[in-house]
Amino acid sequence: MRLLPQADWQNRSIWLIIHGRAICTARQPRCLDCPIAAPCPSHPGR
């Protein structure tokens, strides 16, 4: 996987939960601050 080294795969679900709580919120997503916005299907620039 390009975005996440294989050594870090074990923690990916926790990181995604933290990311969702901090940046990718349902009511006001902060897409401009998002480090993984490029592959995101919900990004407004897509």
Q: Please tell me the predicted confidence (pLDDT) of residue 22.
A: 92
Two tokens, residue 41 = 């299907």
Residues 6+ apart with CB under 8 A from 34: 23, 24, 40, 43
Q: Please tell me the predicted confidence (pLDDT) of residue 41.
A: 85
Q: Please tell me the predicted confidence (pLDDT) of residue 2.
A: 67
Q: Please tell me the predicted confidence (pLDDT) of residue 23.
A: 92
Q: Please tell me the predicted confidence (pLDDT) of residue 16.
A: 85
Two tokens, residue 35 = 């480090």
pTM for the model stands at 0.59
Flag residues of the chain having pLDDT under 70. 1-3, 46
AA letter at 42: S
